[in-house]
Amino acid sequence: MIQQVRARSAGVPEPDKLSGSPRRGGQHVRVGHAAGAKWETNYKMSDTRRRPLLLACSLALLLSACGATQSLTARVSQPVHPVLIRNDHNVLLQLTIDSQRTAPTNLEAIGFSLAGTDRIEDIEALEVFHTGAKPAFDAGVPFGQTVPPSMTITIRGALPLQPGANIFWLSCRLKPSAGLSRKVAAAVTSLSAGGGAVSVVDQPPPVRRRIGIALRKHNDDGVHTYRIPALATSPNGTLHVVYDMRRRASRDLQEDIDIGLSRSTDGGRTWELPKVIMDMGEYGRKPQYENGVSDPGIIVDRKTGEIFVFAVWMWGKPGKHQWNEDGSEPGFEIGKTAQLMLVRSKDDGLSWTKPENLTRKLKKEPWWLLAPCPQQGIHLADDTLVMPTQGRNETGETFATIMTSRDHGATWTVGAPAFVGGNECQAVQLGDGAIMLNIRNDHERFRAVFVTRDLGKTWQPHETNRKTLIEPNCNASLYRMDLPARQGHVLLFANPHTQKGRTHHTIQVSFDDGRTWPKENHLLLDEGRGRGYPSLSRIGDDHVGIVYEGSRADLTFEKIALAELGLTRPVPRAAR
């Protein structure tokens, strides 16, 4: 009977035709070898019984060898996120090869298709990287060589696949001229390992990744972190985005932070170098890190063209935060309460005034804090300017409201708190003339929504208040998009669309002034984890721009066609 069978291979010859195989009963017989594998059979039986059994063994070994790569399987995942100009590496897909083998097997080649890519010339280069079993991208270990773009590519290399999960990443680098209206897609078409093909058992349809710009990245121009964007469009069509330049660390005030500005005069295709527009220097002989200024809000007077940027300044109080405890206190004094500051531009953002302190003019003395909201304000049809505002009331609790100007920004009036227990907010004007304030809610993971018909003197809860728009307790952007040719308007809302963390950065659309937000008009931009703050503003009649804190850069810019948001259906008359 059969006593031992060892190893498996392909190319098995007839047992009685093997060289060096004496056919004496009870003798050791060498059955075969291939690709360095050896296997042997010991037997002790009659020749007539031996032949069919050895033939059966040979057939089993042959079938096993033909399916040798069945112990390797592959799966592909494609999380949704953009690919960004200025990023050296943009992940297009993640490939995981699972090996059930006990010894390493060489991966020899991976084939890809870029079908679904709008213009292959947008890509400068393609690369594959290996991260072992770690599911986080890293460019430390390349597989094969960098290759130029083509609709089909094969990247060849020699890398041992270890038992268990082996993770690879296809990455691209975009040309600076890549089109912001175009997309990139990729899929795995073939795998070769150990001299055979590897089956891809799980591959979803390719994600067509939107092209965007890494507007600001960690350590750009020696700045540690860029945060808190607010985007606005001037009457000339110039895009202005203001933000925190956090020079030493990513943390909030108190810290060495200035307000920066980036401008684009071509709809976001190119951007000027950042400009510092608010820097309190070493005021009062204190160092820069005790003169931080943060949380910029921006508003454009569409009649005069003047641009206003507000921010909050802390002096002294190292280690404190204006939203916590005595980081800001009742009163007006510099060094006791955080200060509300303003700079202006009358030449489309090319030059700016020195900072002006509005604290004594606008803040109530018992309040612990008055600060701008880091978003865009609005200009009403009667030339009233409306700027979203936040603070801490006389008991130190957070609140949200607006401040308004009816003389083109010469003077401002602060409204009554719309909601206590929330702060960062943004305002839009509804079709009936009322102003809606959409507010970050500290109580539960739904947005607070209030409406005023008297410029913030009194407020009423909206029908969706604290029960419709979900959030993870984070800033959000609300924007009214007026459509051309008197087609009415829609509301756009952007935030991390989740209640668990700052992921799934999404734009939603309302056709009925915020009563409903249809799921079919949700556009997921980036499902990865970021810091979450977004800001929306129009680009011409057919596009909206967004700057947000996504997973691919400190500040990501994307230009979205209204058609991608489903704005092809008629707008109800109530929203006209």
Choosing from 127, 329, 424, 471, the catalytic residue is 424
Residue pair 63/40 in contact by the 8 Å Cβ criterion: no
Q: How many CB atoms lie within 10 A of CB 201?
A: 10
SS3 content of the chain, % helix, strand, coil (to 5): 10, 45, 45
The residue length of the chain stands at: 576
Question: What Cα–Cα distance (Å) separates residue 384 from each residue in 99, 310, 320, 406, 413?
Answer: 66, 17, 36, 5, 11
Which structure tokens are listed for 312? Answer: 């909050």
Cis peptide leading into residue 460 (ω within 30°): no
Question: What Cα–Cα distance (Å) separates residue 461 from each residue in 152, 416, 464, 466?
Answer: 56, 14, 8, 9
Q: How many CB atoms lie within 10 A of CB 554?
A: 25
Q: Which of 387, 416, 280, 273 is nearest to 338 (CA)?
A: 280
Which structure tokens are listed for 424? Answer: 């960062």
Q: Which of 447, 514, 457 is nearest to 480 (CA)?
A: 514
Residue pair 379/301 in contact by the 8 Å Cβ criterion: yes
Q: Where are the alpha helices (DSSP H) in 401-524?
A: none
Tally of CA atoms within 13 A in the half-sphere of 400 that contains its CB: 27
- Is residue 424 annotated as a catalytic residue, yes or no? yes
Rounded to 5°, the CA angle 484-489-491 comes to 135
Q: Which residues pair with 145 in a beta bridge?
A: none
Chain-centre distance for alpha carbon 499: 16
Q: Which of 362, 462, 443, 358 is nearest to 397 (CA)?
A: 443
Which structure tokens are listed for 121? Answer: 């010339």
Residue pair 226/533 in contact by the 8 Å Cβ criterion: no
Q: Is 368 helix (H, G, I), strand (E, B) or coil?
A: coil
Pairing of strands 209-216, 83-85: parallel
What is the set of active-site residues? 424
